[in-house]
Amino acid sequence: MVETFTPAVCGSRARQIRGLAVFALAAMIAAAALGALLGVAGAEIGRPAALALAVAAAVAAAAREAGVLRFPLPQARRQVPERWRSTLPLPVWSAGYGAGLGAGVFTHQPVATFWAACAGALALGRPLACAAAFALYGFGRALVLLLPARRGADATAIVERLAVRRRTVLRVNVVALAVCAVLLALSPTASAAVMHLGTGSELDPSASEGTFAFTRRIVGATPQKKVVVAPESGQRKYFANAELPSLDGGRLAFVTDHDGILVVNWATKATLAQVPADSATKPALDWPWLAFRRTVGSDHDRRYSLRLRNLETGKTRYLMHVPAPTSDLGRPSIAGDRVVWHLANRRGSSIFMYRISRGKRAVLSHTDIWLLENPAVSLRSLVWVRQVRNVSTFYRRRLGSSRVTVLARESGDRYAFWTSDTAARKAYVTRWSLSTGAAGILRFGF
């Protein structure tokens, strides 16, 4: 096809330039459209499954290029129709050639890299990002024509030299594909694992200094709920009729059915502090600070009050008050000097951060459309969940950086993410099964 775009075939140097411009534009548009479709499909599949597929595709492609495996590639074994340039106007056939090569699936593929890239786009699951990446692929398809035309070189001779060096090209391709497979396998979502913590539904993760705590719920004739503390070594500790644990080293805060919020030494179960029932819930502990939510007011004027109490001095700060019927004031998370929480109401949803040393509150993120919820903070990272229609996404951002990483995404009506926590280069999130109501906890390394 490279011999098509010459002044002789196109009619003049000016027509050649116009034909090449249309070809490049069509190739980029077609490739971008393919990338966007793959991104949409990846969001529907779900990132963990799509990422596993991408790793397998990169490994298989590298093995094929190295000659270890032999299998045919899914492709149309033909070049672009030569008759188009004699029966169609220049802008039409050059656009058709560009679209056919840019889309990739309608023409011959000499190597397996294209299909590994398609699997990678599924794993990314972000239509705009995939469209941008594949637009570059389309531009690359046009580059073999644009550069020789600009320099007055023979594009056919360049392609022939590449064909002679096919073995070298394949070796380079094997290395590139192997590197891609390793990077994909080491990505945060690849390290995601379902934590097998026992029977029942496990939710509300909390981690600190190698110890992990969670709420276990068992639904049945006699519903049960308990807080389970699982240290790295030693026996687990159980706290009956309790939920919403928050760990801080050897201390544990949780909500009980009758005693409000208790702060205990989880190893000995000795009580260290207590916030009486009186609608106190959603604790977050970083000694001596305890953040929690309390419902105040009458039935006709109920309000949520987010409070921060120094358990050593007994002094309390009031971080936020909102009307209960129209607002969702989420569970706080505390680490060091920072307290974070979410607020959702008719005006949208926001993630707030309060700096204890400064006594100041700020909005970290706000949206009028989506639902931002269940943030958790450590000394290094911030994680949170975003709900958009039937897409639930779990994000991480390193404190002090604007770069946001997608740890996991669930699409459709199977799962949704809920409560979260982060500590020691790990993140945790509750994943609900929307069909069964069961819950489990996912762990991510980064």
The answer to whether residues 267 and 274 touch, using CB atoms and an 8 Å cutoff, is no
Topology (CATH) of 191-445: Methylamine Dehydrogenase; Chain H (2.130.10)
pTM comes to 0.63
Per-residue pLDDT at 53 exceeds 80:
yes
| pLDDT bucket at 119, cuts 50 / 70 / 90 | confident
Please give the single-letter amino acid code of residue 368.
Answer: D
Per-residue pLDDT at 279 exceeds 90:
no
CB atoms within 10 A of CB 20: 19
Q: What is the mean pLDDT of residues 213-222?
A: 84
**CA 244, 248, 262, 358: dihedral to nearest 10 degrees?**
-100
Nearest to 237 by CA among 204, 276, 195, 270: 270
Q: What is the pLDDT of residue 57?
A: 87
Q: What is the mean pLDDT of residues 44-49?
A: 64
Q: What is the pLDDT of residue 104?
A: 76
| pLDDT bucket at 148, cuts 50 / 70 / 90 | low
Rounded to whole angstroms, how far apart are CA atoms 100 and 23? 10
Q: What is the mean pLDDT of residues 418-439?
A: 92
Nearest to 375 by CA among 355, 353, 398: 353
Task: Supply 255's token pair.
Answer: 């909500």
Strand 415-423 and strand 404-411: pairing? unpaired
**3-class secondary-structure state, position 105:** coil
| pLDDT bucket at 363, cuts 50 / 70 / 90 | very high
Write the CB contacts of 37 (distance below 8 Å, at least 6 apart in sequence). Answer: 127
Per-residue pLDDT at 367 exceeds 70:
yes
| pLDDT bucket at 198, cuts 50 / 70 / 90 | confident
Per-residue pLDDT at 425 exceeds 70:
yes
Q: What is the mean pLDDT of residues 52-56?
A: 84
Percent of the chain topping pLDDT 90: 44
**3-class secondary-structure state, position 338:** strand
Residue 323 vs residue 71, higher pLDDT:
323
Per-residue pLDDT at 296 exceeds 60:
yes
The answer to whether residues 281 and 261 touch, using CB atoms and an 8 Å cutoff, is yes
Q: What is the pLDDT of residue 76?
A: 63
Rounded to whole angstroms, how far apart are CA atoms 185 and 107? 30
Question: Nearest 5°: CA angle at 42, between 365 and 415?
Answer: 65
| pLDDT bucket at 155, cuts 50 / 70 / 90 | low
Rounded to whole angstroms, how far apart are CA atoms 277 and 294? 9
The domain spans of the chain are: 2-186, 191-445
Rounded to whole angstroms, how far apart are CA atoms 188 and 445? 6
Per-residue pLDDT at 2 exceeds 50:
no
Residue 35 vs residue 89, higher pLDDT:
35
Q: How many residues does the chain have?
A: 446
